[in-house]
Structure 1
């Protein structure tokens, strides 16, 4: 009996490393999003707007670099691309601080902000690992009125980026 037990342990010890190597790895469940002013996924997470599964993982809007969609090309987060959904609009001035909440701190190449497909700001981190909260102040110059800002976090060591859209009224009033 003792011999059978030792044999079973030896077989188990031999198979365990193979199981670890061949088991599928799930996707990483955490990354980052704009928390202030509230991005569309922050509004979903807070229950301000009904938007499906993004409510449970606002930090997961990841896709290939260079996209221009709020969903990062993820069909399960397509609600983020729907401009008619009733997103809360934040009134801001001609310059505004944007805070990212990061749940996984990837090495970063750049942070970019776009309005209507035009880049209005870029911050270069040169591959550094950011802290858990990152804040950038963006100056919008002469841009005014209701705008949808696309904020992009470009990861340095992968082909991916994280996307967030923020609905604002620059120099005016938003709706609450």
Structure 2
């Protein structure tokens, strides 16, 4: 009996190691959950067929420097990370959209799993006429963030909230949150589909 239990435990350990090796780092970082992000919708099972992001919603990490640098157009929501390309799939414009009030105050919320030294958090929104049935590009976004929260290299707490005034918009849009890390070449990206 003891041999069978040991064999099962060893097998589970090998399987777990294989899964970690196949998906990269098991360590996560952070994501937005208000307005609800695509990665959270996948992690909670609200949206199906999400691939690996359903197990790693906090791992959408890519090069920083957005919008001048960072992920390529069409790969922004996944941070340029091919493992999470399902986040860049517009799904025909059918991602669930959070209802927001145009021009009103909104509190954005991030869940932080690894507290990196932080340069800032920035929030961009799509231009009027945005087509949610196409992958996100820089040309779809207003050129300047509507909210920037500087951190000066400080490490954020496990839950970070930022309150700001939403732009005056109507209809369906996308909010891109960018958490820029101070002491690495990377940032974390989070796309939230919204309706005003």
TM-score range, shorter chain: 0.7 to 0.9
C-alpha distance in structure 1 between counterparts of 2:40 and 2:79, whole Å: 15
Name the structure 2 match of 1:34: 32
CA shift, 1:113, in A, is 0.4
Residues 91-170 of structure 1 mapped to structure 2, 5 A cutoff: 91-93=99-101, 94=103, 95-116=105-126, 117-118=141-142, 119-170=145-196
Partner Cα separation in structure 1 for residue 33 and residue 148 of structure 2: 18
- 2:83 is the counterpart of 1:76: yes
- Give the count of matched residue pairs: 145
Structure label with greater radius of gyration: 1
Separation in 2, partners of 1:32, 1:141: 25
Instruction: Give the structure-1-normalised TM-score.
Output: 0.78
Alignment of 1:40-59 (within 5 A): 40-50=38-48, 51-59=50-58
- Match of 1:21? none
Deviation at residue 127 of structure 1 after TM alignment: 0.5
Q: Deviations over 1:60-112 (max 9, x none)?
A: 00000123600000111111011126311110113311100000000110100
Change (3 A) 1:107 1:62: same
Q: Which moved more, 1:70-79 or 1:85-94?
A: 85-94
TM-score (norm 2): 0.70
SS at match of 2:146: strand
SS at match of 1:78: helix
- CA distance in 1: counterparts of 2:168 and 2:45, whole angstroms: 33
Deviation at 1:55, TM superposition (A): 0.2
- Equivalents in 1 of 2:179, 2:148: separation in Å? 10
Cα deviation code 1:136-159 (max 9, x no counterpart): 123123223211110000001011
Equivalent position of 1:63 in the other structure: 62
Q: Give 5+ residue unaligned stretches, structure 2.
A: 1-23, 127-140
Please state if 1:87 is matched with 2:95.
yes
What residue number does 1:15 align with?
A: none
Cα drift, residue 28 of structure 1? 6.1
Over the residues paired in the alignment, what is the CA RMSD in angstroms?
1.5
